[in-house]
Amino acid sequence: MHSTIKVSNMSSSKQRTSGASDAAKNPFLVALGERVKSLRSRRGMTRRATALAAGVSERHLANLEYGIGNASILVLQEVAQALNCPIAELIGDETTSSPEWLLLRSLLEGRDEPTLREVRLAAARLLGDPSADSQRNRRIALIGLRGAGKTTLGQALAQSLGFPFIELSREIERLAGCDAGEIQALYGQNAYRRYERRALEESLAAHEQSVIATPGGLVTDAGSFNLLLGRCITVWLKADPEDHMRRVVAQGDMRPVAASREAMQDLRNILDGRSAFYSKAAIHLETSGRTLIEAQAALLQALQEPLNLPSADTSPAQHRPEPARNMH
């Protein structure tokens, strides 16, 4: 129900307006109205001038400011344009919560990806753990969708380097006392991400050198992904969507087979949505069309400089813990 209709009916009675409507006000709408009023005052604009610029009635804008008008997103967009501010500022996004945030947004707006990356790294150095740089080059974190080969290649890489291997999904389940599916079913996605962050923090604290296989969705949590980028050499294991699907089935999960067309399209959509985050990894490694030995040799070669490995350590002949087999 739109509040504007309720308000017009309530206007005939001051008692109803001051009583029942106050009790029924939604806290979000009240805060939204206060921000609109504050921004309008900051701009030195009257309510009438703001309403005219936004193309809405003055009464509609008044209802919005009083916290009793549930405006559509299109109306909010028009009001934001009239007040010359991002719509995020109206709805209370944290990055608009203070003048410093607003100044930072203004500085970063319109910058290209390489520039934003340099700013992020500079901020991490300024705000992060002073020992992060020295610890970073002894941990390797493998990121990518399920079926990219993170566990298979991670175990082989850890054995070659003599590093502990950590499968973060198992650490999450250990902390929660149940498997990942149960965590999400019982407590929801947000709870799973909290366990994921805790498992990552504990793993980083416990091991100064390690190979970490991460859940595919970790990159969607900015805090966890920032921690990973700052404390590890990140490696994006890339594969064709068909290989992702084949490897998932090879792991014993037959659910995608029941609706293969829909499952494949979902996988492509997820990969498209996450690729921009996966691409932040320091190393990109294609695993499609490679055996485990070939992928391992390629990764060791890519890690030679970051880990300060002797050239001989990157030779496949030095790292053959098992017969060549395909990634899965």
CB-based contact 159:140 (threshold 8 Å): no
| CA gap 274, 277 in Å, rounded | 5
Model confidence at 327, pLDDT cuts 50, 70, 90, reads low
Same domain, residue pair 164 and 82: no
Q: Strand, helix or coil at 139?
A: strand
How many Å apart are CA 316 and CA 287, to the nearest integer? 16
Question: What mean pLDDT is predicted for residues 101-130?
Answer: 83
DSSP 214: P
Is it the case that residue 256 has pLDDT exceeding 60?
no
CATH label of the domain that carries residue 269: 3.40.50.300
* CA 149, 150, 151, 156 torsion-angle sign: positive
**Which of 54, 60, 61 is CA-nearest to residue 8?**
60
- Phi first, then psi: what are they for 97, rounded to 5°? -80, -10
CA 215, distance to chain mean position in Å, is 12
The CATH number given to whatever domain includes residue 39 is: 1.10.260.40
Q: What average pLDDT score do residues 193-203 get? A: 94
Q: What is the pLDDT of residues 128-144, one digit of tens each?
A: 654 455 455 689 999 99
Let me know if residue 121 belongs to a domain: no
Decide if 116 is inside a domain: no
Whether 228 and 136 share a structural domain: yes
What confidence tens digit (pLDDT) does each residue in 63-85 have? 999 998 788 899 999 999 998 88
In whole angstroms, what is the distance from residue 141 CA to residue 60 CA?
Answer: 53
The pTM for the full model equals: 0.69
Question: Has residue 92 been placed in a domain?
Answer: yes
For 200, how many CA atoms within 13 A lie in the half-sphere containing its CB?
Answer: 25
pLDDT digits (tens, 9 = 90+) for 261-320: 677 787 788 888 888 899 999 999 999 888 999 999 999 999 988 888 776 444 444 444
Domain match, 79 and 133 both: no
Residue type, 59: R
State the residue range of the domain holding 239.
129-318
Give the pLDDT score at 92. Answer: 82
Evaluate if residue 203 carries a pLDDT over 90: yes
